[in-house]
Copies of this chain bind each other. A is one copy, B any other.
Amino acid sequence: MKKKLNFWFDFASTYSYPTAMKIGEMAYEEGVELTWNAFLLGPVFHNQGMNDTPCNLFPQKGAYTWRAIERICDNEALAFNKPTIFPQNGLMAARICCSYSNEPWLPAFVREIYHANFVKDQDISQKEVIIQSLENLGLKSGEVIEKATSQEGKDRLRQNTDKAIELGIFGAPTFIVKDELFWGNDRLDTAFEWCFKR
């Protein structure tokens, strides 16, 4: 039976960045079927009684996180520049992911947006940034954005976020393998191992 791993991510999430850049290749090498599930952390944090990301609410944790991300990226030879805006608004990008979740270009689009956020320090809420990311992949940006921002497109992201909360997701990245939940970039290897656990 095909091994499956569900990857849940938010475009503002610091630790989701290194995960997003490598998880596709890892899944390919392991022969694991990957699903890419974008959601919004904002409502998830709000549901836990927080009105902002823990990195901003708890400054010591925030300071640690920025240094930890820097070390992780350095270790993986991954470019990183601390974004001027944090957390960024990934609403439009997440809507695109939900409307095109099965398209072969989706993983590359996800990486484009993370690169725009955590390397180029662009404002990913801006339509021009989204258009550029889509056009870098040779896609018709107008068509994609129209579908993603339609009422159905908006509903898809809302449903995905509701589903994340139902599944017990409280942060990102999160991996789900056979009903087991794994939280954090640090648990990525463990999540892959779980795919092959008997």
Contacts and interface: CB of A to CB of B under 8 A. Distances in A.
Interface of A: 48-49, 57-58, 60-61, 63-64, 67-68, 71, 168-171, 180-184, 186-187, 190
A170 B48 contact: no
A168 B48 contact: no
Contacts of A183: 64, 68
Contacts of A186: 184, 186-187
Given A60-B168, A67-B180, A186-B187, 11 more contacts: A48-B58, A48-B61, A58-B170, A60-B170, A64-B170, A64-B181, A67-B181, A68-B182, A68-B187, A71-B190, A184-B186
Nearest to A187: B186
